[in-house]
Amino acid sequence: MNNSIVILGVQWGDEGKGKIVDLMTKYSKYVVRYHGGDNAGHTVILNRKKIILHTIPSGILHEGVLNIIANGVMISVKSLIKELTCLQSHGISVKNGLAISESCFLILPHHVAIDRAREASKGKIGTTLRGIGPAYEDKVARRGLKLSDILHMTSFEARLKEIIDFHNFQLIHYYHSSSIGYQETLEEIISCSEVILEMIEDVSEILNRAHDNFEPVIYEGAQGTMLDIDQGTYPYVTSSNTTSGGVSSGSGIGPKRCMGHILGVMKAYSTRVGSGPFPTELHGSIGELLRKRGMEYGSTTGRPRRVGWIDVVMINKSVQCNSISSFCLTKLDVLDGMERIKICTSYRDREGKEIDKIPSSLEAWKDIEPVYEILPGWKGKVYKIRDYRFLPEEAIRYVRRIEELTGVSVYIISTGPSREDSIIIKNPFYC
Ligand code: IMP
C-alpha cells in the first residue's frame, strides 16, 4: 500500500487533474498543492455544478480531509479570498478543512501589472496574466514577501514600499505603463489577510506526522510537465517546477516520503494554451470538433485551447523525468465517433531524420514534423462507461497501444465529467 500519491499532468496542463484528485480524495486524508498559484484552473463538478479551483486543493469538497497549501505555492490574497467566497456561495465550508503554510510567497498587484505589460509589449508567452512569472522572479531574486512577513507589520510595510518603488520604475520607464499605489496595495493586503492568516499552520509538521502514521496523502500538481521551468518547452513554460521534483521542495517533505506512487494524468489527445511548440496541433475541422466536444476553453482565462493528437515522444519524456508509476487517461469519450485516431510516435527533424526525443532549444523545435501511427476509431460509446469490460474493442486497443509505447500501465480511465464517470482498473493507493 502507498500512503502518498502524486497526481500530476504529463502534457501541457488541463488534463483533468481536478476531477481525478477529487475522485481519489475519497481514499485520502490530506490533499496538498505544492507549486504554482492561481494560474491553475482545476474543475470539479458538485451536484452538476461546475466549480473552478485556482489555489485551493481539489479535495476541498470532501469532509474530513485537510487541504493544504504548502510553501511552494504563490498566493494572491485577493484571489484566494474570492475563491473562498465562491466556495461559501456553493455551501462549501472550508472551516477546519484548509491549512496554509506561512512560507508561501505573495503575488502582489505589481506582479500582475508587469505580467500584463510584458504580454502587451513583446513576444508573447500567452500567460494567464496572474503575475506568476514576476512573483517567482522576486522570490528567486530574494526580495519576495511571504505570508509570514505580514505578521511583522512594521518591517512588512518598509519592504513592501521598497519593492513597489523598485517595480514602479520598471513599469513607468520601461513599459510606459501606470504605476502601482503603495497605500492601496497595503490596504488590500490588510483587508484580505485576516481570514487567511487564521488558517496558517506548520504544514510540513502536519504532513510529516501524517507520513509517520502512514495516513494517505495526495500531492496535487498544477499545470503540466511540458510547462515545467526546467523540463518543459522553455521559454513557453510557467515559472515553477510542475514535475515530481517539485513536490519535495514545495511541501517541505523529503522525496522518499512524499512520492509513493506517481500518477501521470494524460488526456486522450493533446491541448495547450498559450504560445510555444505543439507538433501534433490540428488546425482544421477535426481540431475544431475536439475543441467543442472536449469543451477546450481555458478555465482561468476562457481562451480557446489549441488541440492536437496525442504525442508519445512528449509523454515518454514525462514518464522519464517524473518517474511515472501509472497513468490516468482522461477524456477518452471525446474521441467517440472518430473514424481514425492518430498517435505521434516520433518526430522528423528538418533534415528528415527521425527522432524520439524532444528538442531542447527553440531553434531545434522549428520544422519538427510528427510521425504518426494510425489506429481505427470506435463506433460505440465510451461516454459514461464505468466498467472496463464494456469499452468498445477499439478503445481498449487505443489504451493498450499507449501502454505499449510508454511502458506504463493505465490504472484509471475517465469517461465523462462527473466523479462517477470513471473506471478504476487499479487503485494507486492499494498497489
Ligand atoms: P503563467 O503560468 O501564467 O506565467 O503562464 C505561462 C504558460 O503556462 C502559458 O502558456 C499559460 O497558458 C500556461 N499555463 C499556466 N497555467 C496553466 C494551467 O493551469 N493550465 C494550462 N496552461 C497553463
Taking only the tens place, the pLDDT of each residue in 361-403 is: 889 999 899 999 999 999 999 999 999 999 999 999 999 999 9
14 included as an active-site residue: yes
- 226 DSSP assignment: G
Residues in the chain: 431
Q: In angstroms, rounded to a whole number, what is the distance separating the alpha carbons of residues 208 and 268?
A: 35
Annotated binding site for IMP: 14-17, 39-42, 128, 142, 223, 238, 303
C-alpha cell at 15: 488534463
139 included as an active-site residue: yes
CATH number of the structural domain 4-101+200-262: 3.40.440.10
Residue pLDDT, tens place only, 149-175: 999 999 999 999 999 999 999 999 999
Is the pLDDT reported for residue 1 higher than 80? no
Q: In angstroms, rounded to a whole number, what is the distance separating the alpha carbons of residues 390 and 364?
A: 43
Does the global pTM surpass 0.85?
Answer: yes
C-alpha cell at 313: 515522444
The answer to whether the CB of 266 falls within 8 A of the CB of 330 is yes
CATH top-level class of 267-409: alpha beta
Which residues form ligand 1's pocket by a CB distance below 6 Å?
Answer: 12-14, 39-41, 125-128, 130, 132-133, 222-223, 227, 236, 238-239, 273-274
Q: In angstroms, rounded to a whole number, what is the distance separating the alpha carbons of residues 364 and 360?
A: 7
Per-domain residue ranges of the chain: 4-101+200-262, 105-196, 267-409
From the list 54, 78, 139, 167, the catalytic residue is 139
Is the pLDDT reported for residue 300 higher than 80? no
Average pLDDT over residues 186-209: 95
Q: In angstroms, rounded to a whole number, what is the distance separating the alpha carbons of residues 45 and 286?
A: 27
The answer to whether the CB of 16 falls within 8 A of the CB of 414 is yes
Residue pLDDT, tens place only, 216-251: 999 999 999 999 999 999 999 999 999 999 999 999
Q: Which value, in Å, is the radius of gyration of the alpha carbons in the chain?
A: 22
C-alpha cell at 226: 511540458
Q: In angstroms, rounded to a whole number, what is the distance separating the alpha carbons of residues 400 and 422?
A: 17
Domain 105-196 has CATH 3.90.220.20: no
Best of 128, 242, 272 to mutate for ligand 1, by most ligand atoms within 8 A of CB?
128
